[in-house]
Amino acid sequence: MNTGIKATHRLRTATAVALATGTLCATGALAAAPAQAAAAPSVVAKGAYAMNGTNGATLFAKKADTRLSTGSTTKIMTAKVVLDQPGLNLDRKVTIQKAYSDYVVKNNASLAHLIVGDKVTVRQLLYGLMLPSGCDAAYALADTFGSGKTRDARVKNFIGRMNSTAGRLGLKNTHFDSFDGIGKGSNYSTPRDLTKLASSAMKNSVFRTIVKTRSYQAKTVTRTGSIRTMGTWTNTNTLLGSYKGAVGVKTGSGPQAKYCLVFAATRGSKTVIGTVLASSSVAQRGKDATKILDYGFARLGR
């Protein structure tokens, strides 16, 4: 056996012994293999997406650009259009109209139980919109902040502004035909677009405060001038209080939408924002979101 062959033989023998005894280190003949990255989770939702809330980098994607029905996650845009109003007065009082009540009854819609004739502030309407997902609150906001001589004209104008905002944000696969998600066949978005929308909305401090609130009780002014203490509005986002660092954002559901959730959580300096669309149940959308959040934070090193 020549010298080169002997040297190779000795190296192989030493390496085999080191591997068997666990004494091989990175400074030896072979370097230890790096830790394997966590595998992307499997989720039930038809579409899902998550991004780094700091720089917008993608953390998870499943049919991220597939157009799907949004349900009440539409109300994120409703709130954004209202909060983008120049010189917005959150204490402005809005009188609740019978049309709002008739609308939720006709559509068997989620509601904030607003009372006809009561005066409710814009701030209270936003809580009623985002926590119990009140379609009556959504109608009141669209009627109040849309432009036009008739209610129908004002609502149409408001929805037009929702779409204009989507265009300005570069949400190319998003379209609204309603102010609350009860669409007429042309109310859709994608997991990526909704996540971008939520990220934009979360830049507003009032929006951030509302969507992380677990419960809220409004005091409204009745038509006789007395104070009415409303029933407590509970946030439909079950991640709040159950997932460490959860700070929002909005649930959605419906015959076409199935079960949706736009979510966000912050741990230290890291934020993960994401969306699941068309999951199979309330419980499952929460499980899907939890898996994605865990994976996102693992990728960010938290």
Question: What residues are annotated to the active site?
Answer: 72, 75, 133
Quick one: residue 174, left, alpha or beta (phi over 0 = left, psi -120 to 50 = alpha)? beta
Instruction: Reduce the secondary structure of 21-88 to three states and give it as a string.
Output: HCCCCCCCCCCCCCCCCCCCCCCCCCEEEEEECCCCCEEEEECCCCCEECHHHHHHHHHHHHHCCCCC
Q: CB neighbours of 143 closer than 8 A, spacing ≥ 6?
A: 97, 99, 100, 151, 154, 155, 158
Burial class (CB in 10 A: 0-12, 13-18, 19+), 180: buried
Please report how many Cα atoms fall inside a 13 Å half-sphere around the Cα of residue 189, on the Cβ side: 37
Q: How far apart are CA 142 and CA 136, in angstroms?
A: 10
Give the Cα separation of 86 and 69 in Å (integer). 30
Cα dist. 222→144, 216, 228 in Å? 18, 19, 6
Q: How far apart are CA 282 and CA 236, in angstroms?
A: 10
Q: Which two tokens stand for residue 256?
A: 């076409």
Structure tokens at 83: 């909060």
Give the CA dihedral 186, 189, 194, 197, nearest 10 degrees.
-60
